[in-house]
Structure 1
Amino acid sequence: MPESYIIDAVRTPVGKRGGALAGVHSADLAAHSIAALVRRTGIDAGAVDDVVLGCCDTIGSQAGDVARTAWLVAGLPDHVPGVTIDRQCGSSQQAVHFAAQGVMSGTQDLVVAGGVQNMSAIPISAAMLAGQHYGFSTPFAESPGWRARYGDQEVSQFRSAEMIAERWDISREEMERFALASHERARTAIAEGRFKDEIEPVTL
């Protein structure tokens, strides 16, 4: 079986909600990283078999297959296809898995994989409410099959977090300490230049 390798990794800086990157179109954010990846690796962009991006709110600037849109916005060959996938918070990781599987199966040789999400422009879970104009209060509530199995219980990250905390007896204070430590480690790593080869600055 062929082996798959991650050749390089590029991302934009992480922006704050409503911050400097808030007004940048999602396709342009992804295109920025894709263009940098192609430039840095020196690959033949025309030899890319597929572009796979994860995105869990594919509406507005993230609709219409943002993976394909971002590739084209980056000015890259228009014969290269793209696909956007939604596995919620695991979407970008799944994109990398699918890319690896394509290479390992022998059906693909070179795949660009990653993710994009501008949560200032498209708030988290916005896609869950986007169907209300068409008579769907949520993606689940109007399904008789869903109601028969799960009733009308809340479906959200908040409820999921509560269920996880209850099952494994995790306190809010423990999670707050963990979250703070995670952010502190990230800020320290950035200040020490540990991500300098990964973060591609965005000039506005």
Structure 2
Amino acid sequence: MSEVVIIDAVRTAIGKKEGALTNIHPVDLLVPILRQLVDRNNVSERDIEDIVTGCATMTNEQGGNVGRLATLAAGFPVEVPAYSINRLCGSSQQAIHNACQAILANDATIVIACGVESMSRVPMGSDIGSFSDTLMNKHTIVPQGFSAELIASEWNLTRYELDEYAYHSHQRAIEAIDKGYFEREIIPIDIEEDRQFVTDEGVRRETTLEKLHQLNASFQPESGVVTAGNSSQISDGAAGILLMSHKKARQLSIKPRARVIARAVVGADPLMNLTGVIPATKKVLQKAGLTLEQMDVIEINEAFASVVKAWEKEFKPDMDKVNPRGGAIALGHPLGASGARIATTLLHTLEDTEGRFGLQVMCIGFGMATATIIERL
């Protein structure tokens, strides 16, 4: 059986809603990711056997198979195929899984997995109409924020705990930016004739616990604990991973940076919605034959602070290993791009800290979650 290795991983800096990346078409946002992955690794475009693109809101400018359109716009030969997938917040993590599966099945030896989302230009949920009566008769479907409140109640999480977690996410992101930890993973994006975008835009240097405490609850005004401050940000961005079979990497004399050793996806209660990170973590660790204690870096998507804190209560991990460079609360959550963005940050953090194993896990709307374990080589 083939072994899947990671050759490279890059991302854009993340733009905030109606921020620096607003004027860039989603296709054009993904183009420099695709170009960098081939150009700086001396890989022929013609050797790319497929491109898998995650995108959560595939309508309007992100419709029509956005991955294929970006592949053409990037100047790849027309013979290079591409397809786009939607597993909501887990879309580009699923793109990584799909790319791995193609390589493991010997359907391909070199695949790019990537993701893009311009939430400024294509609003979240704009691809959703009314829900069917059949669905609503079987399940209670609520906005994710209400699910985040249910999670906070179920795990007895206080407003202080959530705000404290959000504050630390910003502080970790600020430290990572100031110490240059993101510089290797971020590629510059030209946004004006003489200006490049290279720094995550959503990080709030001025935030304090006091300011976070002053925000009103977003979903339950009277008694709620979930606010805009302890939730992920609406964002724009793109990211991508170059994957190969280990055999192909040896043939091309390319040194792999990591290998993918386990993948998992689970379904969960659509009312609680975001709790799938708990069974997904258990499942992927079991598949890998590893324990949480063996993970040197853990990235769990900060869709809401309550999701991470509930997960923490279940597993009681060393939280210094969890989102050590901040997460979506500070950096932003460009839906379909977040899986590849988190994978990129996970890889670089493992390298910088000389860690061995890394875990990535993400909650997904309507009750799902994805999880991946990689090993640095």
Deviates more, 1:32-41 or 1:156-165: 156-165
Match of 1:160 among 131, 141, 147: 147
Q: Which has the larger share of strand?
A: 2
Cα drift, residue 34 of structure 1: 1.0
Aligned to 2:95: 95
Q: Which runs of 5+ in 1 are unaligned?
A: 132-137
User: Per-residue CA shift, 1:104-128, capped at 9, x if unaligned?
Assistant: 2211111100210011111222222
Match of 2:168 among 178, 181, 187: 181
- Counterpart Cα distance in 1 of 2:165 and 2:62: 31
What TM-score results when the alignment is normalised by the length of structure 1?
0.87
User: Per-residue CA shift, 1:76-127, capped at 9, x if unaligned?
Assistant: 1111111111111111111111111111221111110021001111122222
Aligned to 1:31: 31
- Counterpart Cα distance in 1 of 2:64 and 2:159: 38
Answer yes or no: is 1:149 the counterpart of 2:138.
yes
Answer yes or no: is 1:201 the counterpart of 2:188.
yes
- Counterpart Cα distance in 1 of 2:6 and 2:78: 23
Q: Name the SS for the 2:103 alignment partner.
A: helix
Q: Name the SS for the 2:37 alignment partner.
A: helix
Q: Name the SS for the 1:117 alignment partner.
A: strand
Cα drift, residue 167 of structure 1: 2.4
Change (3 A) 1:183 1:124: farther
For 1:201, give the aligned amino acid.
P
What TM-score results when the alignment is normalised by the length of structure 2?
0.49
Moved over 6 A (4+): none
For 2:113, give the aligned amino acid.
A
Answer yes or no: is 1:72 the counterpart of 2:72.
yes
Aligned to 1:10: 10
Q: How many aligned residue pairs are there? A: 191
- Counterpart Cα distance in 2 of 1:146 and 1:42: 49
Identity of paired residues, percent?
41
User: Per-residue CA shift, 1:144-165, capped at 9, x if unaligned?
Assistant: 3213212xx4432212212322
Deviates more, 1:160-169 or 1:100-109: 160-169
What do you get for the CA RMSD once the two structures are aligned? 1.5
Aligned to 1:57: 57
Cα drift, residue 52 of structure 1: 0.6
For 2:163, give the aligned amino acid.
E
- Counterpart Cα distance in 2 of 1:62 and 1:87: 15
Q: Which runs of 5+ in 2 are unaligned?
A: 192-377
- Counterpart Cα distance in 2 of 1:76 and 1:154: 41
Q: Which has the larger share of helix?
A: 1
User: Per-residue CA shift, 1:138-195, capped at 9, x if unaligned?
Assistant: 2x2xx23213212xx4432212212322222223332222222122212221221112
- Counterpart Cα distance in 2 of 1:67 and 1:175: 36
For 1:53, give the aligned amino acid.
T
